[in-house]
Chains A and B, each alone.
Chain A
Amino acid sequence: MSAFLGAFILIINMSIFYLVAFLSIVFSLLVIFSKNPVHSVLYLIITFFTFTVHYILLNAQFLAIVNFIVYMGAIMVLFLFVIMLLNLNRDTEPMHSLVIKIIGIIAGGCLALTLIGALKATLSYKVPVVVTKSDLGLVKNLGKVLFNEFLLPFELSSVLLLSAMVGAILLAKKESNAIN
Chain B
Amino acid sequence: MESLTNRKKVLEQKPMNFIERLYLPAIVKGMAITFKHMFKKKETIHYPEKTREFSINYRGMHSLKRDEQGRERCTACGLCALSCPAEAISMIAAERKEDEMHLYREEKYAAVYEINMLRCIFCGLCEEACPKEAIYLDGNIVPADYLRRNFIYGKDKLVEPTLT
Q: Do chains A and B touch in the complex (CB under 8 A)?
A: no
